[in-house]
Amino acid sequence: MQKIIAANWKMYKNSKEAASEASALASALANGTPDNRLVLVFAPFTAVAAVSAAFAGKACLGSGGQNFYPAAEGAFTGEIAPAMLKDAGATWLLAGHSERRHILGESNDFVAQKVAYGLDQGFSVMLCVGETLAEREAGKLGQVLAEQISSALKPLSAQCKAALAGRFAVAYEPVWAIGTGKVAGHPEVLEAHKTVRDLLVAELGDQGNALPILYGGSVKPDNASGLVNLENVDGLLVGGASLKSESFLKIVSA
């Protein structure tokens, strides 16, 4: 399966900084990505167009939106429509990131609406899932992942479910490992990714084996290679260490 190495720039970088980092990535990867990996950048809204322009015409580089509202347009102050992100050149959307679930209060139901709408609008969607430390300590890892995944897939039509390959990915990001420097240990990553894989297969049949599962949470150049080569780890979603192209490029080739 093609591995995906994705940068989540969160609320960092103005459009000039974004253009400069994205151009640095595009020129470093001008002759293709290592092992034909797909490299994605989820930039802030005001920088999506700059990233898309730097990546234009390069099949292994993609631009995505970190957030969106599941409607064509309307009275949703402060929100952005997928059509607007498409206009800025984005082809991927992130849904269910833990910062949106836990800081902005997005529920499983709302995340599910976003996933269905984003797919319906022709985007590829990356669904983020993961447990808090309290949930892990209470032995609820499997339950939390099952709720997050089955709720997100529930509204999809049978036709949509049958055509998810190549346009749907799951990023497992334990909340306690995001931005904390506490990367999950390999046994924990293996267990969680196997759980996600089994859930995808239970929901989608054999197709669940073809969908990439990324790991995210304090991925750095020095731990990326160990993580990306684990069973059922089909890529990485990188926050802090993706902000500088030198650091992110080391992860892209890890």
**Nearest-angstrom CA–CA distance, 64 and 7:** 10
Question: Of 14-22, 29-37, 195-203, 235-243, which part binds ligand PGA (CB under 6 A)?
Answer: 235-243
Q: Is the dihedral of CA 195, 99, 64, 186 positive or negative?
A: negative
Choose which of 82, 96, 208, 239 interacts with ligand PGA (CB under 6 A).
239
Closer by beta carbon to ligand PGA, 171 or else 200: 171
Told to check if 240 binds ligand PGA by CB under 6 A, we report yes
178 interacts with ligand PGA by CB under 6 A: yes
Closer CB to ligand PGA, 233 or 238, in the complex: 238
How many whole angstroms separate alpha carbon 253 and alpha carbon 203?
Answer: 32
**Binding-residue pattern over the window 209 to 228 for ligand PGA, x denoting contact by CB under 6 A:** -------xxxx---------
- Measuring CA to CA, how many Å separate 36 from each of 27, 151, 165? 15, 32, 17
Residue 52 is a binding residue for ligand PGA (CB under 6 A): no
- Of 167, 145, 142, nearest to 156 by C-alpha is 167
Considering only 111, 189, 237, 252, the residue that binds ligand PGA (CB under 6 A) is: 237
* Contact window for ligand PGA (CB under 6 A) among 32-40, 54-62, 79-87, 236-244: 236-244
Measured between alpha carbons, how far is residue 90 from residues 162, 179, 195 in Å? 23, 25, 30
For ligand PGA (CB under 6 A), the number of binding residues is 13
Residues ≥6 apart with Cβ < 8 Å to 169? 4, 124, 125, 126, 127, 211, 212, 213, 214, 234, 235
Q: What is the CA radius of gyration of the chain?
A: 17
Q: Please identify every residue annotated as catalytic.
A: 97, 173
Give the binding site for ligand PGA (CB under 6 A): 8, 173, 178-179, 216-219, 237-241
